[in-house]
Structure 1
Amino acid sequence: MDSRISRITLRVRGYHLDGYGHVNNARYLEFFEEGRWGYFDDRPALARHFASGHPALVAVNLNVNYRLAAVAGDDLEVLTQVAELGSRSARLYQQIRRLGDGKQVTDADLTCVLLNMRTQQSMTIEGEIRQALERLVLPKAS
């Protein structure tokens, strides 16, 4: 797997399920967030840029496509990558696949802005942060 893609695995538990017996849509947001935490855990040099909370990458838009239901006992993998880098924002692309058959369960595009936490204003992505992120950009596969 490309080193610019982060991969975490998790098992679907009963408390992830809704009344229909499949993963509740809101739980997928938690799975995606866990994938993003894993992404930065795997890249401590990048994470150090945001460790102090100034600046921060802050989510401003999330688009999710639900494709297949996952159920209790399914082992899932969450794949996370930087798909695009703009002047003030970055787009992350994430997928959740079922390990048993490799089928895609859901995917999401998350847009983040670089935010100055003191002023609450977006910042230009430049300098060391930009260089670090540029090395990680992997365009979303069609």
Structure 2
Amino acid sequence: MSVDIIVRGYHLDIYQHVNNGRYLEFLEESRWDFLGHHRLVEQFQERDLAIVVANININYRKPAVFGDVLRVSTSVAAIGNKSAKFSQEVWRLENGEPKDLVVDAVVTFCLLDDASQNAVVISGDVRAILESLLEIGE
């Protein structure tokens, strides 16, 4: 699953490329699109669970500049006992096709029980939901 983002002037830093902090927003936009497309927020809310980010690791590969069109993709990459991971990539497009990998990231998330605010073991139907999305990205 991916979203396209056009680099605007307010995304840039004094060096005229996308500020590193903006990539957090770009990655989040793609994750929300992924979550919405698969109705994950609603499915977890029905079970009194909240999805929360526990860790983000970002590799900055190439700069993006004003006017670039970036494609930000998200997929479920791994599922552990109490956490899972999204794999995300940001590609610069040329003529609508990915040309340069700009950023790649791994985002670790967990599911919190609404009442206790503690991470829960990912099991049963919740695990099955996430397993159905492993690496498909759509």
TM-score normalised over the length of structure 2: 0.90
Q: Alignment partner for residue 103 of structure 2, among 101, 106, 118?
A: 106
Matched, 1:15 2:48: no
**Structure 1 unpaired stretches of 5+:** 1-5
Partner of 1:78: 72
**Structure 2 unpaired stretches of 5+:** none
Partner of 2:126: 129
Q: Alpha-carbon deviation of 1:53?
A: 8.7
Following the alignment from structure 1 to structure 2, what is the Cα–Cα distance between the partners of residues 37 and 63? 18
- Contact 1:53 1:117 (C-alpha < 8 Å) held by counterparts: no
SS of structure 2 residue aligned to 1:21: coil
Partner of 2:56: 62
SS of structure 1 residue aligned to 2:87: strand
Matched, 1:28 2:23: yes
Partner of 2:81: 87
1:74 partner letter: D
Moved over 4 A (4+): none
Q: Alignment partner for residue 38 of structure 1, among 33, 40, 61?
A: 33
Q: Alpha-carbon deviation of 1:31?
A: 0.2
Identify if the C-alpha distance between structure 1 residues 85 and 76 changes in structure 2 by more than 3 Å, giving closer, same or farther.
same
Q: Identity rate of aligned residues, in percent? A: 44
SS of structure 1 residue aligned to 2:43: coil
Partner of 2:43: 49
- Contact 1:35 1:80 (C-alpha < 8 Å) held by counterparts: yes
1:41 partner letter: G
TM-score normalised over the length of structure 1: 0.88
Identify if the C-alpha distance between structure 1 residues 23 and 119 changes in structure 2 by more than 3 Å, giving closer, same or farther.
same
Q: Alpha-carbon deviation of 1:52?
A: 5.9
Bigger mean CA deviation after superposition, 87-96 or 113-122: 113-122
